[in-house]
Structures are given as structure tokens and as C-alpha cells.
Structure 1
Amino acid sequence: MAEKRNIFLVGPMGAGKSTIGRQLAQQLNLKFFDSDKEIERSTGVDIGWVFDLEGENSFRNREERIINELTKKRGIILATGGGSVKMRETQNLLTARGVVVYLTITIEKQLARTKYNKHRPLLQQLKVPTRDFLEELARDRDHLYKKIADITISTDKQNTKIITNRIINILTSS
């Protein structure tokens, strides 16, 4: 890429934001950040603990502050938390400071990818994620992802290398 611009990955849990983000960063020689990991780094505890202790609203405010700081950087790839788009200011930061890539995933694939993951705060209360729960999250957030996305790509049927190359091809042809 001739110019170094920020690329922000949004989408539901299990869509592959962190995995694809790391590959994009490596291929484009950019620095990779994960907003959840940055929250953990700044607090010294995992995001589930922060989420439980502070509640969702306080967690989202903390997430917004972290995303504000990260999006001020130049030439980064940022994987955001699935619920980060719930905050209007976060939406504004992402759309104003980089290219937003919405990674989509079917509920079936999301169920398979998140089945045993205990790291995600919204899933910690469930023994296993349910279709109803994930469908409710999708109804709540899908329109927000679409609203801010510059690029939308499905992560269901292709491996991360192919998806990463598709994103790079779209970015370099625009």
C-alpha cells in the first residue's frame, strides 16, 4: 500500500477479527492491535473480570477510550470487540480514522467457533453459546456493523489467508 492507512475490523465474536488482523498486519507490515487485549494490558486483568466488575456500560466506556487512543495511531490494523459498535462515539472514531472492514459469519459457524471459548464476557454466563443468544446479538448489532462498514467480507467458507488476500486486493484497487 502506497499510503499507510488504518484498517479497523468489526464484526461479531468468532468472525475472525483477531486472526485475520494479525495476518493483515504481517502481510502489510503494519502494527496489529486488539482492543480487548489492550484493555487487559491497561487493567492487568482479563476483560471478563473487567466486564463483571464494572458492568457493560462502564466496560463500553473503557473500550471507547482505548479505541480512541488506538485509532489516533497511523498505519495500524485494529481488531475491535464485537460490541464496540454499540457506542456512537466509537462508530464515529472508526469511520473517521480508517477503513472499516465488517467480517460477517453465519450463526452456525459462530456457534462452532465459540462453543468452548470462555474468554468472551458475554459468553461467560452461558455454559455454551445458544443460537437464540447469538441471533439476538446479531439483531442488535448487525445494522451497526453495516452502517459503518466500507468493506464487507464473509469469513464462513474460506480460510484466513484467502480472506486476508481479498481484503488487501480490495484496498489496493481502491
Structure 2
Amino acid sequence: MMGAGKSTVGRRLAKRLELDFIDSDDAIEQACGLPAGEVFARYGEKDFRDGERRIIARLLDDHRQVIATGGGAFADEGTRSLLKDKAVTIWLDAPIEILAERTSGRDTRPLLNNDDPRGTLERLMEARRPFYSQADIRVRSGNVPHRDVVEWIVSALEDYLQRRV
């Protein structure tokens, strides 16, 4: 979900794993010349998700790296299938209170530009939870240092990869 810390934790995780990091929203901006939020607002969710899926597919075919996807990417069946097939997926699960706090006062999130952003977050989480729960790894995050979340992810990755052997 937006505000869960995907970009911040992703950067730190990539550094910890000695991998490159890319935020799919940044890749969208590079491809379109517009911020991802503006692409979403201008072209609508369907066209945005189609473009996002193509960009994520390209990133997955590139070298091994940590990719932070937008909050709605994993809810898209085609994108989720790509990610499940070609990557280890991680759900950063943060409480609504924290998501609301982290996203408040920002106008870069078109889905939250309304009179009830917290209610919107609650509805999005309810709708997306069944998809997020399909991630390979779930790490609960919250008001804890990012380094702790990174270490929890590394530990969960080690366990996950060990089970796959």
C-alpha cells in the first residue's frame, strides 16, 4: 500500500543485498516524462496499469534488482502473475493509521485526493488484501526503524529461499 515504506525500505534492502534498486514509479516517469501520479490522473487507472505492467515486465527481464512497485501493481492480475513468476514478492504490511499518517498532506497520490483519504486507504486495503496475501513473504512494518524492517525481510528471504531448495 502507498505509505508502507516500499521505496525507503527497498533502497535500504538493495544496499544490504548489494543489488540495484528501482522504483517502478520512477521508471514510469523516465518512460513518460511525467510523474507517475500525473500519468495516472491524466490517462486513468486502466491505461496506467497497462503501462505499469509493461515497465515492470521490462524491469523483471533486466538484471537481478530490488523493485518497489506501486501499491496497485500487485492487485493487477497480469502484473501479479509476472511478479509471482519472475521474482520473490514481499508485502510490507503496515497499519492503516501509519499509512494515513505517512500519506497525509501529499498531493502526489491521485487516489487520495478526496475528502476522505483515510477511508479511501481503508477501502483500498480491504480490496487489495486478498491480492497482497498472495505475496511470497509478508513483513509487518510500522513505527519501527527501517533497518529493522530490512533485517526482518532478509531473515524472511533466507527462510523462504531455504524452503525452496
TM-score under structure 1 normalisation?
0.87
Within 5 Å, give how 1:7-46 maps onto structure 2: 12-46=1-35
Q: Distance in 2 between matches of 1:121 and 1:33?
A: 21
RMSD after superposition: 1.3
| Residues 29-74 of structure 1 deviation map (CA, whole Å, 9 limit, x = unaligned) | 1010101110011111111221122111000100000111011123
Within 5 Å, give how 1:43-62 maps onto structure 2: 43-62=32-51
Which position in structure 2 is the counterpart of 1:113?
A: 102
Query: Structure 1: which amino acid aligns with 2:42?
Result: L
1:110: how far off?
Answer: 0.8
Q: Distance in 2 between matches of 1:119 and 1:131?
A: 15
Q: Distance in 2 between matches of 1:104 and 1:58?
A: 27
Which position in structure 2 is the counterpart of 1:133?
A: 120
Distance 1:44 1:143, change over 3 A: same
Q: Is the contact made by 2:49 and 2:76 (CA closer than 8 Å) also made in structure 1?
A: yes
Which position in structure 2 is the counterpart of 1:104?
A: 93
1:172: how far off?
Answer: 2.6
Bigger helix share: 2
| Residues 98-147 of structure 1 deviation map (CA, whole Å, 9 limit, x = unaligned) | 11110001111111111122222212x226x5321111101111110102
| 1:74 equivalenced with 2:60 (yes/no) | no
Query: Structure 2: which amino acid aligns with 1:168?
Result: V
Structure 1 gaps of 5+ residues are 1-11
Which position in structure 1 is the counterpart of 2:157?
A: 171
Q: Is the contact made by 1:47 and 1:121 (CA closer than 8 Å) also made in structure 2?
A: no
Which position in structure 2 is the counterpart of 1:162?
A: 148
Question: Secondary structure of 2:142's match?
Answer: coil
Query: Structure 1: which amino acid aligns with 2:83?
Result: L
TM-score under structure 2 normalisation?
0.91
State how many pairs are aligned.
160
Q: Distance in 2 between matches of 1:30 and 1:72?
A: 15
Question: Secondary structure of 1:32's match?
Answer: strand
Give the percent of matched residue pairs that are identical in Structure 1 and Structure 2. Answer: 38
Structure 2 gaps of 5+ residues are none
Which position in structure 2 is the counterpart of 1:150?
A: 136
